[in-house]
Amino acid sequence: MKRICVFCGSNPGANPQYVQTAKALGRVMAEKSLGLVYGGASVGMMGEIADAVLQAKGEVIGVIPKFLVDKEVSHKHLTDLRVVNSMHERKMLMADLADGFIALPGGLGTIEEFFEVVTWAQLGMHGKPCGLLNVAGYFRMLVEFLEHAVQERLIRAEHRSMILMDENPGALLEKFDSYQPPVVEKWMDRKP
């Protein structure tokens, strides 16, 4: 793996552990010579992780749509800032540039971006690892919901297990190293 795409809040969140862990993830990635791909903003947790990787002399590529350059205050000191035309282009380019995906605590944008890459994995469009960094139990209820969806036969257990999780950045990246994507069809109970 050369680069990891990190999705995270454009806000810092209420719990100081969110920003602390964003910074810790940035440092661990730089130690492991893993470049960061992210949304290119200087605000919230997004700005914090970018700064942490840059301070540790790591590579940071930001991908931001034109209309957000001012709103999310694009980061001015990245290794590379790619300005694209739409949110769709942003997600596609971030996915192409990265060898794995991590979501830190975040809001609707973070959740949307993470689940889109998971759905691409489910359809076999890529076999890259996807993981939740469960800082202070932030994703606990989301994981409960996923278990519920498996019980209700709307998500395959194999597809639910594609979503790796840990509360520690280094431990999550170790899970990425040994990840093998499942080889199953998406559809269950399909009539012949």
> Which of residues 4, 5, 6, 10 is near ligand AMP by CB under 6 A?
10
Query: Judged by CB, which is closer to ligand AMP: 74, or 122?
Result: 74
- Binding flag, residue 42, ligand AMP (CB under 6 A): no
Which listed residue (108, 141, 154, 183) binds ligand AMP by CB under 6 A?
108
Of 170, 121, 114, the closest CA to residue 142 belongs to: 114
Listed ranges 7-15, 20-28, 119-127, 153-161: which one lies at the site for ligand AMP (CB under 6 A): 7-15
Residue 109 near ligand AMP by CB under 6 A = yes
User: What are the backbone angles phi and psi of residue 64, rounded to the nearest 5°?
Assistant: -140, 135
For the chain, the first-to-last Cα distance in angstroms comes to 40
Cβ 39 to ligand AMP shortest distance, Å: 4
Angle at 129 between CA 125 and CA 133, to 5 degrees: 135
Query: Quick check: 53 binds ligand AMP (CB under 6 A)?
Result: no
Mark the segment that binds ligand AMP (CB under 6 A) among 74-82, 84-92, 120-128, 174-182: 84-92
Q: 55 CB contacts (<8 Å, ≥6 apart)?
A: 26
2 vs 166: CA distance, rounded Å: 21
Q: Which of 186, 173, 185 is nearest to 129 (CA)?
A: 173
CA dihedral (62, 135, 27, 31) in degrees, to 10, reads: -110
Asked if 66 touches ligand AMP (CB under 6 A), the answer is no
Which residue sits closest to ligand AMP, CB atoms considered? 109
Verify binding: residue 91, ligand AMP, rule CB under 6 A. Answer: yes
Residues forming the site for ligand AMP (CB under 6 A):
9-11, 39, 41, 68, 72, 87, 90-91, 106-110, 112-113
